[in-house]
Amino acid sequence: MKLIFCITLVIISNVCSTRISKTTKPNIVFILIDDLGYNDVSYHGSEIKTPNIDELARDGVRLENYYVQPICTPTRSQLLSGRYQIHTGLQHSYIRPAQPLCLPTNLPTFADKLREAGYATHAIGKWHLGHYKKDCLPRQRGFDSFFGYLTGSEDYWTHHRPGDGILPNSNHWLGMDLWDNERVAWEYVGNYSVFVFTDKIQQIVNKHPEEQPLLLYLPFQSVHAPLQVPSSYEERYKNIKNMNRRIYAGMMSCLDEAIGKVVQTLKKRDLWDNTVLIFSTDNGGEVAAGGNNWPLRGWKRSLWEGGMRGVGFVTSPLLPDSVQGTVNKELIHVSDWFPTLVQGLAGSSLGNVTLDGFNMWKTISSNASSPRKELLHNIDPWPNQPKEFSSNISAAIRVGHWKLLTGDPGANNGEWIPVPDSGITAISPIKINGKDTWLFNITADPYEYHDLSTSHPEVVDELMDKLKKYYVDSVPVQYPEEVEEANPAFHDGLWGTPWQWKAE
Ligand SMILES: *[C@@H]1O[C@H](CO)[C@@H](O)[C@H](O)[C@H]1NC(C)=O
Ligand SMILES: *[C@@H]1O[C@H](CO)[C@@H](O)[C@H](O)[C@H]1NC(C)=O
């Protein structure tokens, strides 16, 4: 086992690489949780019980300086492509159900590269990387199979959703969105998505030929709004008075059980010993929908730490004993998974692909220092898109210990919100009108209490210069108007019959 690990780890070395055969490539299971807050797993001290997640985290390497993006599409776009949003045009917001927009189809995904490397590639869950034309869909983006939904959220039981209300009357555009490859999965109307997805995952694992390496990309619907869960899970949390928090806690328990089942199934098939499991949230918790990020500042949709500092860990019997059960404090970002999986785990070359991510496998498996010294959180100049960067543009960058925020960071004023009924009082910062620059030493002050922008103007200047350079290197924001053609009424009551749209 450890020998195989050595082989995958030091893949670059000729001694080892000559002994690689297809079957020694590790299976990769990537679990992406939707809207999981920093304070919503018990191993971070939450009142929500997540025994299966905790056990996996406890045996693995917990990433405690790990960043994602503040919302759904951005994190998924960077995970799949290894590119910052300034290089994909997806800097602004998320892909709306009726928007003719997707992750640029000229960019390879990590699934493309793993498929080239011989992996069977399966995606089960939420896509949210665009669906207006066939080239945008999962099976055109490196996945052998897809079971799930294409838009950003929907009802957990009916698998229907309305439009988002931006086009007139579109909040009445009700459409079904659950797909088994290109077929509508009508038979699951009325079945809770966690159970449906877990069944599908188990079927794939049970049928998988063991001589082929396996990629399971598992972007669960949980625990995004709407707050819905079978009542037996909610009943476990009778002690939680706040209704949103109580249902959310039940959703986490249901998800935790599902993750336990997936791991059990891999173990039963004898695939687990050769599996690397990565667990990540897609962004911070949504405080208005049950999530919590205490003691971090802000929440989902913001460039404060509560929006982006993610729950994440890597666990595997292939990890050396020396790192099993440890906490890793190296700077790691969601864009780093592409090269980490493709180079670090599958041992493939990146070829001509340009990336913003770094191969973190040595950092994770031997606690080597992170190759990442800098992290562009985002620059979103929508809608003005001026020629030059200035501090009224919403942006954030991390360089070493320092983090600079400019423009509107989101989440109102960036309050610190405790768990409801915890007896702790929310903290509101003093609002200064017109303020558009903040500087924090995140290592010393991870909760962003002490703005140092006036005491360290030289650091502000240095980071501002870096933002200016990144801005010059950006592609224009793509954020087209939604189109009437997307109305499910024109497509047999379905979202995502994309090849019928005439949006281009
Ligand atoms: C949907 O759920 C019902 C009730 O739990 C179950 O009997 C049925 O088998 C499920 N349908 C499918 C297709 O899994
Ligand atoms: C990169 O390599 C792939 C094949 O590996 C090729 O199809 C593609 O055209 C190349 N792209 C560029 C920009 O050279």
Containing H/E element for 66? strand 66-67
Average pLDDT over residues 363-383: 98
Q: Are 86 and 376 in contact (CB under 8 A)?
A: yes
Atom of ligand 2 nearest to the CA of 353: 1
Q: Is the pLDDT of residue 80 over 80?
A: yes
pLDDT digits (tens, 9 = 90+) for 82-115: 999 999 999 999 999 999 999 999 999 999 999 9
- b vs e for 284-304, b when ≥16 Cβ sit within 10 Å of the residue's Cβ? bbbbebbbbbbbbbbbbbbbb
- What percentage of the chain exceeds 70 in pLDDT? 94
pLDDT score of 500: 67
Close Cβ partners of 5 (under 8 Å, ≥ 6 residues apart): 318, 319, 320, 365
Q: Is the pLDDT of residue 502 over 80?
A: no
Band of pLDDT at residue 498, cut at 50, 70 and 90: low
Query: What is the pLDDT of the chain when averaged over all its residues?
Result: 94
β-sheet bridge partners, residue 88:
none
Q: Pick from 68, 1, 7: which is nearest to 279 by CA?
A: 68
Residue nearest to atom 12 of ligand 2 (CA): 352
pLDDT score of 18: 36
Which listed ligand is nearest to 112 at the C-alpha? 2
Band of pLDDT at residue 503, cut at 50, 70 and 90: low
Q: Taking the model in full, what pTM does it have?
A: 0.94
pLDDT digits (tens, 9 = 90+) for 27-67: 999 999 999 999 999 999 999 999 999 999 999 999 999 99
Spatial separation of the C-alpha atoms in residues 421 and 395, rounded to whole Å: 34
Q: Are 413 and 123 in contact (CB under 8 A)?
A: no
**Four-point Cα dihedral 193, 195, 196, 200, nearest 10:** 130
Band of pLDDT at residue 411, cut at 50, 70 and 90: confident
Q: Is the pLDDT of residue 218 over 50?
A: yes
Band of pLDDT at residue 20, cut at 50, 70 and 90: very low
Average pLDDT over residues 312-316: 98
Q: Tell me the CA–centroid distance for residue 326 and ligand 1, in Å.
A: 41
Q: Is the pLDDT of residue 19 over 50?
A: no
Residue with tokens 């090849």: 499
pLDDT digits (tens, 9 = 90+) for 136-171: 999 999 999 999 999 999 999 999 999 999 999 999
Domains annotated on the chain, with CATH: 25-373 (3.40.720.10), 376-472 (3.30.1120.10)
pLDDT score of 4: 44
**Which residues participate in catalysis according to the annotation?**
72, 128
> Which of 352, 354, 355 to probe ligand 2 with, by most ligand atoms within 8 A of CB?
352
Numbers of helices and strands, H then E, in the chain: 12, 18
Which listed ligand is nearest to 348 at the C-alpha? 2
Find out whether the beta carbon of 352 lies less than 6 Å from any atom of ligand 2: yes
Atom of ligand 1 nearest to the CA of 195: 14
Q: Pick from 281, 122, 125, 262: which is nearest to 197 by CA?
A: 125
Residue nearest to atom 12 of ligand 1 (CA): 188
Q: Is the pLDDT of residue 15 over 70?
A: no
Spatial separation of the C-alpha atoms in residues 278 and 366, rounded to whole Å: 16
